Amino acid sequence: GNSVTQMEGPVTLSEEAFLTINCTYTATGYPSLFWYVQYPGEGLQLLLKATKADDKGSNKGFEATYRKETTSFHLEKGSVQVSDSAVYFCALLTGANNLFFGTGTRLTVIP
């Protein structure tokens, strides 16, 4: 079956710290992988995506590389800002076209 396992939160970091949120997946076939972000009071927004092995998705300083050998798609950012405080969801998309999400990781960045 299809599933996503992501790092439990919450995560609290100081501004300019390095961020890693782990995400591993189980999937049939060759899924596309996504990171969505939900800022306070808003809906889910696509942060970045990768559609095949070894692809790197990047946006707003965040990066994630599709690693087929380790079935992972870890989210990283070299220097977080207070404005990055949000809930981050790892997700995969299969041929059935519905997204499978992880449980979400709440990030709080303190000044």
Q: Which residues bind other proteins (CB under 8 A)?
A: 4, 32, 36, 41-46, 49, 51, 89, 91, 93, 96-104
How far apart, in whole angstroms, are the C-alpha atoms of residue 76 and residue 78?
A: 7
Q: How far is the CB of 106 from other proteins (least distance, A)?
A: 9
Q: How far is the CB of 101 from other proteins (least distance, A)?
A: 4
Closest CA to 60 of 80, 39, 90: 80
Which distant-in-sequence residues (6+ apart) come within 8 Å of 85 by Cβ?
39, 40, 107, 108, 109
Which CB, 14 or 103, lies closer to other proteins?
Answer: 103
DSSP designation for 67 = B
Which CB, 68 or 79, lies closer to other proteins?
Answer: 68
Which CB, 43 or 111, lies closer to other proteins?
Answer: 43
Which CB, 14 or 51, lies closer to other proteins?
Answer: 51
How far apart, in whole angstroms, are the C-alpha atoms of residue 86 and residue 88?
A: 6
Q: How far is the CB of 79 from other proteins (least distance, A)?
A: 27
The neighbouring-strand residues paired with 72 are 24, 67
Q: How far is the CB of 71 from other proteins (least distance, A)?
A: 17
